[in-house]
Amino acid sequence: MSTATIPPFYNFFFKYVDPLIALGGAYLNFFDPVGAVIGMAPNSKYDPDQVFLFHQSGGLALAVAFISAILPRHTTNATTWRIIQFGLFLSDLAGLSGIGCALWRQGRFAPANWTSDDIGCGGGYVFLTLGA
């Protein structure tokens, strides 16, 4: 068992901030999928026949919110925390890949072509994935 403790910044961030961000993603996927599509791929149209994809993404966002909010409250074991964070990191990499693909397909990969949603969502993912 690891005796190292979770650094206070990470403990605070993943206990309070990350769950709120994930809940925002869950809301978009469950209740405003049109907004989710327009925000990241404004030239695309929401297809109701693909709602299952949005619900799967929303479910993942709920799981991330739950794990991020509960884990730091129930363990100070750094090894356990690192294992969970690595799993969440893999999810963030998939999110970055999706953002990159959306930008590429719509000819907005160059930063000069980014919308405020691109900057907010993409920048948020980069910060969460690489910075935190």
Q: How far apart are CA 119 and CA 97, in angstroms?
A: 15
Tell me the pLDDT band of 1, cut-offs 50, 70 and 90: very low
pLDDT digits over 88-101, tens only? 899 889 988 988 99
Q: Are 65 and 23 in contact (CB under 8 A)?
A: yes
Q: How far apart are CA 54 and CA 6, in angstroms?
A: 33
Helices (H), 1-132: 8-12, 18-31, 33-40, 51-74, 78-105, 116-117, 123-126
Return phi, psi of residue 44, to 5°. -100, 165
Is the pLDDT score of 122 beyond 60? yes
